[in-house]
């Protein structure tokens, strides 16, 4: 269940609503898949029962990730998630932080092609078949968009989207600098070392720019502030390493010049 960036012209709900609908949809899909396996077929080939169960287990792992994303969007801390999972905060962060970051980078939407409200309405109908008329809006009725229809969110979402577009451009630039990087040895010429120094300096500047983008995303996506602070620190550390490498390359260039 991965989606690309949101399509233009499609109404988006708050990221909190989008994440909750995403979780509800995955729950319905998992329940539907499990229900299909209920019949007992004496002719089932050996191993098929286990394969089906393992497929559901893999889907459940994705469901857990969706639950973490929904929890983060409603403000649940990593400490609280760690307590719920009965692991350390570090273990919880290592297990799920990357997936939360990917959710952020992809626009924090349930689907790139469908409205979350339309998906919620469909899930309402599916749930009512099991629960009866007592729960006519089991999913949509709990969304902020329904409970607080005038709550503003679009401006903040647009700001975050602009920052993610900037991040994508910088990632593309970073890929270019990595693609032109060449590891040198003692036989390299002065010009080779200077080119390498320029490459590492440009890489460091790109890392600095990426750190700045994540600094701004802290306020643009406050629910995911921890993730963005971590990313900013990581990029600053990489910038420092690249800058140190550039300084070493310049020293090697001076050595090469003195031996020519």
* Overall average pLDDT of the 142-153 stretch: 75
Q: What is the spatial distance between Cα 112 and Cα 119, in angstroms, rounded to a whole number? A: 12
Q: What is the spatial distance between Cα 56 and Cα 53, in angstroms, rounded to a whole number? A: 5
Quick one: pLDDT band at residue 150, thresholds 50, 70, 90? low
Task: Tally Cβ neighbours within 10 Å of residue 25.
Answer: 22
Residue pLDDT, tens place only, 200-213: 999 999 999 999 99
* Overall average pLDDT of the 119-135 stretch: 85
Longest CA span, the chain:
88
Residue pLDDT, tens place only, 188-242: 899 999 999 999 999 999 999 999 999 999 988 988 999 999 999 999 999 999 9
Quick one: pLDDT band at residue 147, thresholds 50, 70, 90? confident
pLDDT number for residue 3: 42
pLDDT number for residue 57: 94
Comparing CA positions, the residue from 93, 31, 16, 91 lying closest to residue 63 is 31
Instruction: Please provide the DSSP assignment of 128-166 as one string.
Output: HHHH-TT-TTTTGGGSHHHHSTT---HHHHHHHHHHHHH
pLDDT number for residue 157: 80
Quick one: pLDDT band at residue 115, thresholds 50, 70, 90? very high
Could you give the 3-state DSSP secondary structure of residue 12? coil
pTM for the predicted model, two decimal places: 0.75
Residue pLDDT, tens place only, 94-109: 999 999 999 998 989 9
CB-CB contact of 224 with 231 (8 Å): no
pLDDT number for residue 210: 96
User: Nearest 5°: CA angle at 101, between 161 and 76?
Assistant: 105
Structure tokens at 220: 């643009």
Q: Percent of the chain having pLDDT more than 90?
A: 70
């Amino acid at each position: 269940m991965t989606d690309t960036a949101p399509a233009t012209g499609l109404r988006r709900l708050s990221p909190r609503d989008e994440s909750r609908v995403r979780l509800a949809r995955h729950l319905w899909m998992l329940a539907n898949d499990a229900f299909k396996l209920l019949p007992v077929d004496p002719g089932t080939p050996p191993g098929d029962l286990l394969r089906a169960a393992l497929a559901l287990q893999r889907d459940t792992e994705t469901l857990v990730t969706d639950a973490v994303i929904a929890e983060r969007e409603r403000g649940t801390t990593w400490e609280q998630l760690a307590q719920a999972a009965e692991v350390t905060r570090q273990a919880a962060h290592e297990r799920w932080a990357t997936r939360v970051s990917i959710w952020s980078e992809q626009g924090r939407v349930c689907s790139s092609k469908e409205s979350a409200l339309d998906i919620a309405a469909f899930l309402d109908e599916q749930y009512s078949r099991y629960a009866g008329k007592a729960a006519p809006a089991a999913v949509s009725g709990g969304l902020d968009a329904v409970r607080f229809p005038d709550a503003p969110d679009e401006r903040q979402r647009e700001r975050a989207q602009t920052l993610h577009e900037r991040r994508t451009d910088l990632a593309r630039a970073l890929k270019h600098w990595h693609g032109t990087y060449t590891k040198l040895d003692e036989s390299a010429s002065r010009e080779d070392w200077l080119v390498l120094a320029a490459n590492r300096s440009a890489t460091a500047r790109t890392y600095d720019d990426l750190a700045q983008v994540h600094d701004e995303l802290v306020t643009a996506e406050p629910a995911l502030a921890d993730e963005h602070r971590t990313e900013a620190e990581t990029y600053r550390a990489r910038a420092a390493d690249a800058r140190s490498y550039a300084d070493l390359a310049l020293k090697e260039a001076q050595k090469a010049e003195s031996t020519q």
